[in-house]
Amino acid sequence: MIADGAAAVNAGLPWDLRAAIGRLLEGRPRSALVAKAARLSEIYRAGGNSREAIADETGALAYTLARMPATYAAVAAVLAEAARRAPDFSPHTSLDAGAGPGTASWACAERYPTLASISMMDASPAFIDLARRLARDSVHPALRDSTSALGDFVRGDAPLPESDLAIAAYVLAELADSACEEVAARLWMACAGLFVLVEPGTPAGYKRIMTARERLIAEGAAVLAPCPHAHVCPLRMPDWCHFAARLPRSRDHMLAKTATVPFEDEKFSYLVVARPHVIGARAGGRVLAPPRRNKAGLTLKLCRADGIADVAVARRDRTAFARLRHARWGDGY
């Protein structure tokens, strides 16, 4: 599912999205976007949120250059695993709550060609305007014809359309910890099939996912990924459940990030839950860290229904080694 440091770089943003961003950047001085991106990073590192950081079109574009590729890579990796866990799930409608520039909606359209209707909602006028403009250039009809609504679903003053697939990517991080549980429950109520949460792969992001997970299980949600069980998470700090997606950096992305390396590793935590009628199956276990390899074989840190275990797989055990030799951080088996 998710590449470790030695694996191939993921494909990155879809070509039509890259082209749409390129058209919006034509004639714009990159220096202003670089300065704005740096300011956004300062605000986020200081604990600020998008409401404070994104005030105009320049801010939304700077965010798109600096953060959209990594967010897309994480969401795409999570949706790929969701499709593995529920291969027969074919959504017709989706809700992207806290859509920003529409990152998760693009990933959903790429993963699920059955989508006929996509709804994007965000409280930022600058983000919603940019999401609309980018979506117009998509090759996916559902995205071109998507509904983009300005509204704050957190406060509950905006109605949420019921959708087969609901997703909130990097949204809980914008909220007070005390609000995460209720927001997750409200989005679950609008979900008729699969509900996906993606958060930064930090201890705080993992904590928010666990808070939402506990509430969603109480509300009757079936956990599909990444957990191979619905028990209390067996991990204890300073350890936490997170994964990583490696993505390429374009020239503009490198400029916005003031980066010299042509790739980036985006760490994230996530949760996929389903309504009872969705046919799906959890993995028997989940690889929680890059495998440790040596001449004798490899050792996998696994989360299983019976807890966390370091499992050694010897080369001499040909059957087991052949099955697990290509295991990567994040894989279910």
Q: What is the pLDDT of residue 248?
A: 83
Integer angstrom CA distances of residue 274 from 164, 245, 307: 10, 23, 23
Tally of CA atoms within 13 A in the half-sphere of 282 that contains its CB: 20
Q: Tell whether pTM > 0.75.
A: yes
Instruction: Write out the chain in H/E/C secondary structure.
Output: CCCCCCCCCCCCCCHHHHHHHHHHHCCCCHHHHHHHHHHHHHHHHCCCCHHHHCCCHHHHHHHHHHCHHHHHHHHHHHHHHHHHHCCCCCCCEEEEECCCCCHHHHHHHHHCCCCCEEEEEECCHHHHHHHHHHHCCCCCHHHHCCEEEECCCCCCCCCCCCEEEEEEECCHHHCCHHHHHHHHHHHHHCEEEEEEEEEECCHHHHHHHHHHHHHHHHCCCEEEECCCCCCCCCCCCCCCCCEEEEEECCHHHHHHHCCCCCEEEEEEEEEEEECCCCCCCCCCEEECCCCEEECCEEEEEEEECCEEEEEEEECCCHHHHHHHCCCCCCCEC
Mean pLDDT of the chain: 90
Determine contact, residues 277/228, Cβ cutoff 8 Å: no
pLDDT over threshold 70, residue 278: yes
Q: What is the pLDDT of residue 3?
A: 39
Determine contact, residues 34/255, Cβ cutoff 8 Å: yes
pLDDT over threshold 50, residue 61: yes
pLDDT tens track for 178-206: 889 999 999 999 999 999 999 999 999 99
d(CA 115, CA 108): 8
pLDDT tens track for 29-50: 877 888 887 887 787 776 777 7
List the domains of the chain with CATH numbers.
15-274 (3.40.50.150), 285-324 (no CATH)
**Residue 7 binned pLDDT confidence (cut-offs 50, 70, 90):** very low
d(CA 118, CA 104): 11
Q: What is the pLDDT of residue 8?
A: 46
- Identify which has the larger pLDDT, 260 or 287: 287
